[in-house]
Structure 1
Amino acid sequence: MLLGCIGDDFTGSSDLGNTLAREGMRVVQYTGVPDGPADDDVEAGVIALKTRSIPPAEAVRQSLAALAWLRDQGCEQIVFKYCSTFDSTPEGNIGPVAEALADALEADKVIVCPAFPGTGRSVYQGHLFVRDRLLSESGMESHPLNPMTDPDIRRWLARQTRLEVGHIAAPTVLAGPSPIAAALEAEHQAGRRLIVVDALRDADLRAIGEAAAGLPLITGGSGIALGLPTNFARRGLLGHGGRAWTGQPGPCVALSGSCSNATRGQVARHAARYPTFEVVAGDVMAGRVTPEGLAETLLAAEGLPLAYSSADPQTVAAAQAEFGREAVAAALEGFFATLAARLVEGGVTRLVTAGGETSGAIVEGLALTTLEIGPEIDPGVPALRAGPALTVALKSGNFGAEDFFEKAATVLAGDA
């Protein structure tokens, strides 16, 4: 294994795997730290953790365990992948995990770049934009778990770590790999170890990737990996990419727990065409709706049924105020995990999920350990083979076109 990757959620990990597979690497995504060694032909291993919203100390512990396994597989370089909207709180978890990995790897020039231009995320003058909006005006300021109220990645990161935070501005990035490498060294000499790097285009990410050749640790959104496979290819270390994709026929169901604006739009479009069932937090908390009962309803529905809890921010806030934020999140995650298990037991062979926490709960509920990366459905979202009779799509809440659920079902079946 050449490249080791640690993702802080399941959708983001598949997003990263998608990027690396498109760039020619043989990629496998693992759910948690594997018990045994990787297959010999795996060139990039992505360990998907569920550490985005847990206590920082536990996120660090799990991330270091993942690092130890990846180093045992012979990885030359490590990528710490977090969301392209830098989802975190003032306490963490991005800063504490990046700091711990940097210390373990003795990395003194650590790139921090959440940019993903393919989905409208860019970093300019250290500020994170979602298309033409600052992060703090994009809807992420109302995120139920990690509200992002400051778009300055330098300032946000500095609140999370004892390490000094540096910056490489867009003019240097636009000048190419050599100036970027020189700027990284200058920041290191100035004592700034975590270095926020501007990026506006895929070409910028490729240039950053070339400049990062030989660095032990890189952090960012999945876009930061765009240029990394080429570094290994130049050395003649890559084979012939991933295995051939085959889809999976059979029933398909979509499950959404994301409250993002993008997913809510996708749910609204889908509801006009297919059977759609809302999961209300209060009903789950009171036991008025059960995963077993909803599974029966979905299995009997025609077409591409969808169950969702993608409420607007005000509704989510009201439920959190009544029952407690952690209690609501745990109840909904547990509900969707059990629901997914009952659906697969009932014969569903394709599952489309939306939302990082929801997707992670479903993957854990189904005890999926290894996911083969397949073709891209929408930017940042690949099809995944989860077993001999199951394909899945794990979509970050903010990703995907309005017809994502339909498109995903088609790709998972192998019809596109």
Structure 2
Amino acid sequence: MLLGCIGDDFTGSSDLGNTLTRAGMRTVQYVGVPQGAADEGVEAGVVALKSRSVPVEEAVRLSLDALDWLLAQGCEQILFKYCSTFDSTPQGNIGPVAEALAERLGADRVIFCPAFPGAGRRVYQGHLFVGDRLLSESGMENHPLTPMTDPDLRRWLARQVKGPVGHLPADVVFDGAEAIRTRLDATDARLIVCDAIRDADLMALGAAAAGLRLVTGGSGIAMGLPENFRKAGRLSKAAAGWRGQSGRAAVLSGSCSNATRAQVARHEGPRLEITAEALMAGEITAREAAGWALAQEGLPLVYSSADPEVVRAAQERFGRETVAGRVEDFFAETARALVEGGVARLITAGGETSGAVVEALARDTLEIGPEIAPGVPCLRAGPDLVLALKSGNFGGPDFFAEADAMLGQGA
């Protein structure tokens, strides 16, 4: 294994696996830290953790465990992957995890770049934009767990870490890999936020990152890394095949992002809304929701994707962590019941929801398949099940129907 990756949630990890697979690396996504050795021939391993919203100390511990396993597989470079909207609180977890990884690796220069132009995420003058809006005006300021109220990544990251935070401006990035390396060598800061507004900028950053022990960012920062190994003659040319899955399908959505709420509103199949109040009162169970879905024709959708004000009111009434835990447990149990009932194509929306579902299904490895939408690949979780794990803000208005068609393609 050449490139070792640590993802702080499951949707982001599959997004990263998609990027590396498209760039020609034989990539496997692991659900948590594996117990045994990786299969021979794996060139990039992505250890998917559910560490984005856990306490800082737990996130650091899980990430270091993943790092130890990846190093034991022979990885020469480590990529810490977080969301392209830099989801974290002022306390962490991105900064503390990155600092702990850098300490363990002895890394003296660490790139931070969540840019993903294909999905509308760009970093300019150290500020993160989503489309033509600053991050703090994109809807992410209403995220129920990690509200992003400051688009200045330098300022946000500095709240989380011990050392200074540097900045690599766009005019240097535009000059290419050699200029980037020169500026990185000259900066006094170990942690460096890098501007990137085009795919070409990410490719230049990737080329400049050759030899760096640790790189961090969204999946976009991985675009240029495989080429470094290819130039060195280290990559095979074997490509894994893909086959879709016939059978029943269902959608589970726990994301409250603007994009997902639009997808829910657009969905033409049967829909069942699950409110926080109904869950807390025990008015609906996961088994009942799964039974409803299994009784439907077409593509049934079970969702808890409420307006931010509704979510905020439920959090104030019951407690943020209590509501989040109850929703995750509900979707985890619903997913188990759906698969037990014969669902073979399962689509999930939301990082926390997807993480809960994958853990509940207890599938250790995920085979990366073709791309459904930027950042969202098809995933095979075994001989009888395929998945699409969508980050909340990803995908177009008809994503659910498009994902179902792709997951069944060629079956």
2: distance between equivalents of 1:163 and 1:43?
33
Distance 1:409 1:343 in 2: 15
Q: Does structure 1 residue 299 correspond to structure 2 residue 271? A: no
Instruction: Write the letter of the residue equivalent to 2:161.
Output: T
Q: Does 1:263 find its partner at 2:260? A: yes
Partner of 1:275: 270
Within the candidate set 347, 353, 356, 1:358 is matched to 353
Please report how far the alpha carbon of residue 242 of structure 1 lies from its aligned counterpart in structure 2 after TM superposition. 3.7
Is residue 349 from structure 1 mapped to residue 332 from structure 2 by the alignment? Answer: no
Q: How far apart are residue 37 of structure 1 and its match?
A: 0.3
Q: Which amino acid aligns with 1:30?
A: Y
Q: How does 1:182-201 map to 2 (within 5 A)?
A: 182-187=182-187, 190=188, 192-201=189-198
Q: CA RMSD in A?
A: 0.8
Aligned match of 1:6: 6
Contact 1:96/1:161, CA 8 A, preserved across alignment: yes
Q: Determine the C-alpha separation between the residues in 2 that align with 1:140 and 1:287.
A: 30
Amino acid at match of 1:343: L
For the Cα contact (< 8 Å) 1:7–1:47, is it kept in 2?
yes
Structure 1 residue 414, shift from structure 2 partner: 1.8
Residues 370, 377 of structure 2: 8 Å contact kept: yes
Query: Residues 313-328 of structure 1 correspond to what in structure 2 (within 5 A)?
Result: 313-328=308-323
Relative to structure 1, is the Cα distance of residues 410 and 129 closer, same or farther in structure 2, using a 3 angstrom cutoff? same
Q: Secondary structure at 2:305's aligned position in 1?
A: coil
Q: Match for residue 208 of structure 2?
A: 211
Match of 1:163 in 2: 163
State the match for 2:403 in structure 1.
408
Partner amino acid for 2:212?
Answer: L
In structure 2, what is the equivalent of residue 178 of structure 1? 178
Distance 1:198 1:300 in 2: 50
2:94 is the counterpart of 1:94: yes
**Counterpart contact for 1:280–1:309, Cα < 8 Å:** yes
Q: How does 1:15-34 map to 2 (within 5 A)?
A: 15-34=15-34
User: What is the aligned residue count?
Assistant: 411
TM-score, normalised to structure 1, is: 0.98
How far is the alpha carbon of 1:322 from its aligned partner? Answer: 1.0
SS of the aligned residue for 1:45 comes to strand
- 1:224 and 2:221 matched: yes
Query: 1:410 and 1:129 mapped to 2: Cα distance?
Result: 31
User: Once the 2 structures are TM-superposed, how far is the Cα of residue 241 of structure 1 from its aligned partner?
Assistant: 4.6
Distance in 2 between the 1:14 and 1:409 partners? 17
Report runs of 4+ in structure 1 exceeding 6 Å deviation. none
1:41 alignment partner in structure 2: 41
Deviation at 1:240, TM superposition (A): 2.0
1:203 to partner: Cα distance: 0.5
C-alpha distance in structure 2 between counterparts of 1:163 and 1:369, whole Å: 37
In structure 2, the residue matched to 1:393 is: 388
How many angstroms does 1:397 deviate by? Answer: 0.0
Unaligned runs of 5+ in 2: none
Q: Percent identity?
A: 68
What is the alpha-carbon distance in structure 2 between the residues aligned to residue 156 and residue 319 of structure 1?
A: 27
User: Is contact 1:274–1:304 with CA below 8 Å preserved after alignment?
Assistant: yes
Asked if the contact 1:27/1:242 (under 8 Å) is kept, the reply is no
1:184-208 per-position Cα deviation (integer Å, ceiling 9, x unaligned): 1111xx2x00000000000100000
For residues 269-300 of structure 1, the C-alpha deviation after alignment (integer angstroms, 9 at most, x for no partner) is 00xx1101101111111110001111111001
The answer on whether the counterparts of 2:19 and 2:219 sit within 8 Å (CA) in structure 1 is: yes
Aligned equivalents of 2:280, 2:339: Cα separation in 1: 24
2:283 matched to which residue of 1?
Answer: 288
Does the C-alpha gap of structure 1 residues 241 and 196 become closer, same or farther in structure 2, counting only changes over 3 Å? farther
Deviations 1:5-53 (A, max 9, x none): 0000000000000000000000000011000000011000000000001
Note if contact 2:243-2:410 (Cα within 8 Å) is conserved in structure 1. Answer: no
Give 3-state SS (helix, strand or coil) of 1:28's partner. Answer: strand
Where in structure 2 are the equivalents of 1:233-272 lying within 5 Å? Answer: 233-270=230-267
In 2, Cα distance between equivalents of 1:262 and 1:403 = 10
Contact 1:21 1:241 in 2 (8 A): no
